[in-house]
Amino acid sequence: MRRRYGASPLHLLAHLALLPLAGWALLQILQLNTARTILLWFLGAVVLHDLVLLPAYSALDRAAQRATGSAVNYVRVPAGIWLLLGLVFYPVIAARGDAAYHRVSGRHFEGYLGRWLLAGAVLFSISAIAYTARAASRRRTRAPGPRPSGAGGPRPARSPTERREGPPGG
């Protein structure tokens, strides 16, 4: 079991024993009296993520890696950050709760959608610049072999086994 689970059975039992305690603490903090609501939300989140979303985005990622190689990282990283921003700020991006916010502060949720889209544009632009710079660097390192002796420009680096010609120290 240790090889499959990654820890001892005692570790698993401790987590299973403390899970109801964590649920009770959450109920006390949120002052919710219906454990059923939290349990349903938790189970729904686990089922939705682990059984639907995880296999879906893992399959998409594998397909993208096969199609583009490591270039997929230049899309994966900004997309992940941008989607996480969207998830965290979804209520204000979608203007949910604007009326309550307006009653309390006298202001409205304005511009969050535009700023979120701008953040995405900046993230993907930085990623495109990094990809372009990396591709140009790779092209430069794949330059053709050594130049003829009369050609200008820097000379190719010598290997450690090559003998240096000329006077010592010169």
pLDDT at 147: 57
| Tokens (6 digits) for 145 | 């072999």
Q: Dihedrals φ, ψ of 154, to 5°? A: -70, 145
Query: Is-contact 125 142, C-beta < 8 A?
Result: no
Is residue 26 within a helix (H) or strand (E), and if so which, with residue range?
helix 9-30
What does the pLDDT profile of the chain (170 residues) look like in tens digits?
Answer: 777 778 888 888 888 888 888 877 877 777 766 667 777 778 888 888 888 888 998 999 899 999 988 899 999 999 999 999 999 999 888 888 888 888 888 888 888 999 999 999 999 999 999 999 999 998 988 866 565 555 555 555 555 555 555 555 54
Residue-level pLDDT at 82:
96
φ/ψ (deg, to 5) at 56: -65, -50
In the chain, domain spans: 34-141
Q: Residue 113: what pLDDT?
A: 92
| CA–CA distances in Å: residue 15 to residues 10, 11, 21, 31, 40 | 9, 6, 10, 24, 20
The answer to whether the predicted template modeling score (pTM) of the entire model surpasses 0.85 is no
What is the distance, to the nearest Å, from the Cα of residue 136 to the centroid of all Cα atoms in its chain?
Answer: 24
Q: What value, to the nearest 5°, has the Cα angle with vertex 149 and ends 144 and 150?
A: 105
pLDDT of residue 15: 84
